Structure 1
């Protein structure tokens, strides 16, 4: 019988492990510690089409007028997503939840921002900020919490011991019924400065660092980042960021009940002609069972179940970044997921990034990024 690793997370470290000169996984004295990701904001030209996909994906309308669509999951809390009517489909930014308005005042003093009353459904207070890469975000507090809705419990499974007797399993092919928002993934050409900012101002801590092949000496190029709730476990990552030529949204992830919800929800989306980007599989960093889809505007979203939950005692991991290292099992990663198909927009961003001395994406980093897709 194979010996067990010291801990599952230690077993994911690179052969070198953390080095003395590595960047820290957390700030020593952050301004505040946000509690969670509150919601994400998008702009879409067609709110009716956005709502149809959202319902097929398993989100529920919480509020709708001619200008805005608010979408929620079945668990209590804030909405998962706010979609505003606009000229094009684009990501506007994330909102993080602070513990109190007092925290917002402390954050405002540290950043030179101001605390505002939030004049939108749910009310509350907020601070508007830009991170060093130029991404717009909000930190909110005291927003009215939506009540929990009826939702499906995870199925009883006959694994290890008999739990289900005289009761066949017949999960319905239906929307996956999202429970909550899990995380968002962003790309930035200013990775270290932006990560410093989230650590110092929002108190986020890193669960895992990844680095480009052959570039361990240059440090991390991706971070899976969680909220610091002390002894209370938090998602392995609420925010993930990686170094690249663009400042952009990559994908967001929404928790569902279990593997059957991921699978039957995917079959439901496939039956309706939507585009699967990658899945079904199980990730390494975060361990989620995943399934990625594109909405009609090609925005990528993920169903997930069974993700890792870490408290503040887990030490950061260091691992080489590779396409084959994205999953423990499942189909090979697709070009659709990686966004490998070149476009005029991608070429413009790449040229601009390589010409700009005020970022971290240079020719050597480009070579490393290209190696990721082949390993």
Structure 2
């Protein structure tokens, strides 16, 4: 028997649970009704998050954060890495879905089809993570970074990016764990690029795709933009405080473990950029606690993630990378927090990179969610989580 229509996802879940609990008997023996069919729904943010949550403003107040002291970040701009062989990593990145827009003997810049001049920068040298890059609101923000973080400043003040596509200025500092964090301003945007065509999809009741057939071409999953990156730290509490105190970075979701004394310890944060009422990605930054069983015993970058057009694009990109012999980490599947369809790969320098599609959007009215940490909560469908992803 189908569940009656409801206006509330919570009510639907309650009805479904009650229906599954009902049974009939034959000669005193319980007769199972069988499993209920799966269901997907686009649920309002705060309803989906549930009661174990707090408002963003309350979270900021409880943590003593003064928004007037923030350096205002506008968006995530690109990633920076150092690779031993630029030709080898370039071949991988082309197969991953970006293209070279400029190169020198020791540097390369790679773009997607979005408005960014480039989404990935590679430099020749021993394998090294060079940090994520945020675009700031003004040059005054760069000047403030130089003043306030002089003790960890890695650039010679504000440096002009004279060789980079789009120009602009950059400042690099270190966070308390020693990860480089980069900030740019004044970079021009590219001319609009060709966007992929949206597929028209037929379902069981609405069939707008009349006499139009779905056809696809094999190839890399073209990257649109950089979505987020994640760091694994031995100083999780320190990093959480540092990023949320100095910048307009606020949590979307916090994960915790239960302690033997009945308390809780927060061990991971999915964080977005607070741009007020403007909608932004569910997370631009992910922080996680370094665990004793980690396969990488020291703090490290976990992965960086790039947006692609849709699920078919992602599946075709997965097939392309697999046929080229690259090493898949985990995917394709769908996350719970952030909702993204994910696909993780090792690049040729053993850095993890991700394709994602269909991510959640949030703003200042979206509540901060809390939930238990555990691999069983990482995906609603997809392959089992491999141990190497939990490094």
Q: Measure how far apart 1:8 and its partner are.
A: 4.3
Q: Measure how far apart 1:213 and its partner are.
A: 4.5
Does 2:294 correspond to 1:294? no
Does 2:247 correspond to 1:208? no
1:139 to 158, 180, 183: 183
Q: Which residue of 1 aligns with 2:369?
A: 317
Q: Which residue of 2 aligns with 1:98?
A: 136
Mark the runs of 5 or more structure 1 residues left unpaired by the alignment.
340-375
| TM-score, with length taken from structure 2 | 0.80
Q: Measure how far apart 1:275 and its partner are.
A: 1.1
**Within 5 Å, which residues of 2 pair with 1:1-375?**
1=3, 3-5=8-10, 7-13=44-50, 17=53, 24=62, 27-29=65-67, 30-87=69-126, 89-112=127-150, 114-121=157-164, 122-159=166-203, 161-214=206-259, 217-244=263-290, 246-339=298-391
CA–CA separation in structure 2 for the residues paired with 1:328 and 1:322? 13
Kept in 2, the 8 Å contact 1:98–1:139? The answer is: yes
**Partner secondary structure for residue 282 of structure 1:** strand
Q: CA, structure 1 residues 156+188, in 2 after alignment: closer, same or farther (shift >3 Å)? A: same
CA–CA separation in structure 1 for the residues paired with 2:72 and 2:130? 23
CA–CA separation in structure 1 for the residues paired with 2:169 and 2:82? 22
Moved more, 253-262 or 91-100: 91-100
Kept in 1, the 8 Å contact 2:82–2:122? The answer is: yes
Q: CA, structure 1 residues 18+234, in 2 after alignment: closer, same or farther (shift >3 Å)? A: closer
Q: Measure how far apart 1:10 and its partner are.
A: 4.4
Listed one character per residue, the Cα deviations across residues 151-182 of structure 1 (whole Å, up to 9, x for unaligned) are 31232212463231111112222110011110
Q: Which residue of 2 aligns with 1:369?
A: none
What is the alpha-carbon root mean square deviation over aligned residues? 2.3
CA–CA separation in structure 2 for the residues paired with 1:142 and 1:67? 24
CA–CA separation in structure 2 for the residues paired with 1:69 and 1:9? 42
CA–CA separation in structure 2 for the residues paired with 1:27 and 1:161? 49
Kept in 1, the 8 Å contact 2:259–2:265? The answer is: no
Q: Measure how far apart 1:79 and its partner are.
A: 1.1
Listed one character per residue, the Cα deviations across residues 12-40 of structure 1 (whole Å, up to 9, x for unaligned) are 45x75559x97857933242220111111
Mark the runs of 5 or more structure 2 residues left unpaired by the alignment.
11-42, 292-297
CA–CA separation in structure 1 for the residues paired with 2:385 and 2:243? 29
Moved more, 102-111 or 175-184: 102-111
Listed one character per residue, the Cα deviations across residues 61-102 of structure 1 (whole Å, up to 9, x for unaligned) are 111111011111101123111010003x22111111101212
Pairs aligned (count): 336
| TM-score, with length taken from structure 1 | 0.83
CA–CA separation in structure 1 for the residues paired with 2:219 and 2:79? 24
CA–CA separation in structure 1 for the residues paired with 2:136 and 2:197? 29
CA–CA separation in structure 1 for the residues paired with 2:79 and 2:311? 25
